[in-house]
Homo-oligomer: A and B are copies of this chain.
Amino acid sequence: MTTGAEAIADQHIHPVILCGGSGTRLWPRSRPEMPKPFLRLLGDRTLFQMALDRAADPSMFAPPIVVAGEGHAPHVREQAGTHRLIIEPAARNTAPAIALAAARLPADAVMLVCPSDHHIGDVAAFREGVGRAAALARQGYLVAFGIEPDRAETGYGYIQQGDPLGGGFRIARFVEKPDAARAESFLAHGGFVWNSGIFVFRAGDVLAELEEHRPAMAQAVRSAVAAGHEDGATFRPDAALFTAIEAESVDYAVMEHTARAAMVSADMGWSDIGDWAALAQARAAWDRRSWYNARGDVIGGTNVMIDSDGPRVSVVGLSDVVVIVDKGEVLVVHRDAAQQVGALPGAKGK
């Protein structure tokens, strides 16, 4: 762990944009070759572009590092131009991906780790929260970014806050996706927030904690980086060494073990856009009129979301449904069953 004095050297925050995640529950729009982060799901910018946009202010942020698979590198370049890009030779969940980026940064660089498959409606609230998290990170904390819940959601993990810190809290515990009754009790109890997958910590701190709690992974990432090679702005760690790493999330590998876990939370219109129902909700907040019933005719129903790449869609006598038409696939799904889309043969690539 570095000292506070060293951290003051660079006040800029280093965005690390993770482009993993297959988004199979947003099939058929989201496909292996063009997954969720690279889709225009809300307005004219893709989720990936919006993740970059949120961390683009040079007064606050250093230039970002993007971590993506080889197959998605062309999307990154097409959608964002030239950025520092780290290619993951294989998808190994967030801990190895974050460690790759940390290994490429100065030890005292404050990293803002952002998935690129969620949406944040209130960017000002996000930035304010990032500021609080960065202040804690500069004190050596590893900070998870929590979302103030507005409903008893069972689709997300929760974080329970512990003792207060300036601008945040210590973490009492991480909680896996709860059932409905438990989620209700969290909401009633207070002090539980959704785990957004956004983290803020110094590069040296997350690597030190990884070394302590997952020494094999830390060693493997170090070796893969040492044997990697640079090609302009693109860095490729050694494929064989990286691929041998066991996949694990940074939550499991580091955050649940470190004694310096902290959290900040914000109410910032966050959605993981985890399925079509979540997207319908996000779109309603974004611009209800331009998205609901787009490219379609609806009779005798309400809350119908239609999204078609060409064919006209007509819906009669149904409410709370989503209809997607995309490149030879038609999906019709009830809002309450949206989580099951990933189980469809089409979503599994069959």
For A338, list chain B residues within 8 Å (CB). Answer: 316-317
Contact code string A330-342 (vs B, CB < 8 Å = 1, else 0): 1111101110110
- Taking the closest CB of chain B, its distance from the CB of A247, in whole angstroms, is 27
CB–CB A346/B312 < 8 A: yes
Q: A336 is contacted by which of B299, B317, B330, B336 (Cβ under 8 Å)?
A: B317
Contact code string A317-334 (vs B, CB < 8 Å = 1, else 0): 110010101001111111
CB–CB B316/A329 < 8 A: no
A315 contacts the other chain (CB 8 A): yes
Tell me the A218-236 residues at the B interface (CB within 8 Å).
none
Q: A316 is contacted by which of B311, B313, B318, B340 (Cβ under 8 Å)?
A: B340
- Taking the closest CB of chain B, its distance from the CB of A289, in whole angstroms, is 18
CA distance A315 to B340 in the complex (A): 10
Q: How many residues of A contact B (CB 8 A)?
A: 33
CB–CB A344/B310 < 8 A: no
For A300, list chain B residues within 8 Å (CB). Answer: 337, 340
CB–CB B336/A314 < 8 A: no
Q: A330 is contacted by which of B314, B333, B341, B343 (Cβ under 8 Å)?
A: B314
- Taking the closest CB of chain B, its distance from the CB of A295, in whole angstroms, is 10
If the complex has contacts A297-B345, A318-B321, A346-B297, are A311 and B336 also in contact, measured as CB distance less than 8 A?
no
CA distance A310 to B327 in the complex (A): 11
* Residue in B closest to A276 when the chains form the complex, CB atoms: B316
For A308, list chain B residues within 8 Å (CB). Answer: 330
Tell me the A4-57 residues at the B interface (CB within 8 Å).
28
CB–CB A334/B312 < 8 A: no
CB–CB A344/B314 < 8 A: yes
CA distance A334 to B331 in the complex (A): 15
If the complex has contacts A297-B345, A344-B297, are A314 and B332 also in contact, measured as CB distance less than 8 A?
yes
- Taking the closest CB of chain B, its distance from the CB of A202, in whole angstroms, is 44
- Taking the closest CB of chain B, its distance from the CB of A236, in whole angstroms, is 37
CB–CB B344/A329 < 8 A: no
CB–CB A314/B297 < 8 A: no
* Residue in B closest to A334 when the chains form the complex, CB atoms: B317
Could you list 27 examples of A-B contacts with CB < 8 Å?
A28-B314, A297-B345, A297-B346, A299-B337, A299-B340, A300-B337, A300-B340, A310-B328, A311-B311, A311-B325, A311-B328, A311-B329, A311-B330, A312-B330, A313-B332, A314-B329, A314-B333, A314-B344, A315-B331, A315-B332, A316-B332, A317-B340, A318-B332, A318-B334, A325-B330, A330-B330, A332-B332
| Given A313-B330, A316-B340, 5 new contacts (CB under 8 A) | A311-B329, A311-B330, A312-B328, A318-B337, A323-B332
Interface residue ranges, A against B (CB under 8 Å): 28, 297, 299-300, 308, 310-318, 321, 323, 325, 328-334, 336-338, 340-341, 343-346
Q: Give the 4 A-B CB pairs with smallest separation, nearest first.
A: A317-B337, A317-B334, A316-B333, A313-B330
